[in-house]
Amino acid sequence: MINIAIMGYGVVGSGVAEVCRMNADAIEKKAGQGINIKKILDLRDFPDDPFGDRVTHRAEDIFEDPDIAIVVETIGGTGIALELSRRALEAGKHVVTSNKELVAAHGPELMALAQAKSISYMYEASVGGGIPIVRPLHKCLSANVIQLVAGILNGTTNYILTRMDAAGIRFEQALSEAQEHGYAEQNPTADLDGLDACRKLAILGSITLGEYIDSRQVHTEGITSIMPPDLLYAQHLQMKLKLIGRFRLLLDQQADMIVAPMLISRSHPIAVADDVNNAILVEGNALGEALFYGRGAGKLPTASAVVADVIECAMHLGRLPHLITWAVSDRTIVRPHDDCPVQALVRLRDSLPAERVRELFGPYGAEPVQAQDLHEHAWLVGRDAVLSEGQLAARLRLLDADVIGRIRLFV
């Protein structure tokens, strides 16, 4: 029997306990021995929970217990979760986490600590909820130079955009539904502003390159300024509007990275992901394309990935630790945003002579979009030659018109 502890008994932590109980026999077969949840650390008590008798409010009860081999961190954030993760690793406990904010911000430090102790630090559940992507990207695709990792990395915003589009409901209602389902972060700002997707993209980029990418370097826009007309343009163009994270490896080994709402063709493989689902497209130079699709958030899907890491860890106890580490280098990995290429739909309140718009965008191309019932003017730009973000921003400033907004195209 392997004893484990869970730190943080919220949506995901209690999901880990539920999966361990629900699938105890199958898990025992795979791990080679049963998994026993010996302690649960939380500020609260859970008297009605089947594991309520394991709750402790003292972290020492876990760190000082030599029988506990593996600690699950499902607290979230970078405050107490960082301190307790450090202490768990220093105490020689293998750590399994779903905490993408912590991995994105402090991954190198925690991985180095685990490496020094020859123990595992595993974070499959930090990206894509229940979808296997961290280990497949690191292991199964290791023969490739990965040129592209792109997709829908946040279940909450995908749920909101899907519901707004398909059910015609308002943003606030869709958000509260997502919160009821347990998809959103405690503070949903991280979902809505694109930060959660950005952290996941930085983790995937770091695995791809084997070098740490600081998520703060990644240009990030969320969905809070999306307006109903944006969704109407998407329908008009046979596209969907999705919050997409994209890592593209450039010839000079820099990466073009962005998280932003984008218009994507309805027939594109990534666009199949609606509701809470995530879809991550990986393109390698030997493999071609592979799509990773499934439930990107929620209690049991995320717990599925956490428990899989626990099983993997249990199977390797006493052997080489499981570590996917990143080197920390001084080089500029993320290409400055202004230098990255862009194609976009530009929405204008005023009508401008077509010659004026075409003259301004010159060889990059500008074609008008006529959307019925929308009393405004829109242009698709940058489809004929490579237009950079900086060039687009400069041209939007030069337009003698009120720019309502611009939405990028996923290409």
CB closer to ligand HSE, 42 vs 185 = 185
Asked whether the beta carbons of 213 and 331 are under 8 A apart, the reply is no
CB closer to ligand HSE, 130 vs 382 = 130
Nearest C-alpha neighbor of 270 from the set 303, 248, 230, 241: 241
Asked whether the beta carbons of 297 and 155 are under 8 A apart, the reply is yes
SS3 assignment, position 354: helix
> By the criterion CB under 6 A, which residues form the site for ligand HSE?
129, 154-156, 183-185, 191, 196, 296-297
Minimum gap (Å) between residue 150 Cβ and ligand HSE: 16
Minimum gap (Å) between residue 319 Cβ and ligand HSE: 30
CB closer to ligand HSE, 155 vs 382 = 155
Tokens (6 digits) for 138:
């690191």
Asked whether the beta carbons of 313 and 120 are under 8 A apart, the reply is yes
Q: Is 200 a catalytic residue?
A: yes
Minimum gap (Å) between residue 12 Cβ and ligand HSE: 8
Rounded CA separation 124/68 (Å):
21
Nearest C-alpha neighbor of 100 from the set 78, 131, 83, 119: 78
CB closer to ligand HSE, 109 vs 193 = 193
Minimum gap (Å) between residue 197 Cβ and ligand HSE: 8
Minimum gap (Å) between residue 200 Cβ and ligand HSE: 7
Rounded CA separation 380/237 (Å):
11
CB closer to ligand HSE, 190 vs 409 = 190
Residue whose pair of structure tokens reads 């939007």 in the numeric block:
396
Q: Which of the residues 39, 93, 100, 200 is marked catalytic?
A: 200
Nearest C-alpha neighbor of 282 from the set 101, 162, 130, 134: 134
CB closer to ligand HSE, 97 vs 217 = 97
Rounded CA separation 377/354 (Å):
11
Rounded CA separation 207/88 (Å):
23
Cβ-count burial 277-316 (b if 16+ within 10 Å, e if not) = bbbbbbbbeeeeebebbbbbbbbbbbbbbbbbbbbbbbee
Minimum gap (Å) between residue 19 Cβ and ligand HSE: 16
What is each CA distance from 100 to 110, 190, 335, in whole angstroms? 13, 11, 23
Residue 388 forms beta bridges with which residues? 341
Q: Which residues are catalytic?
A: 200
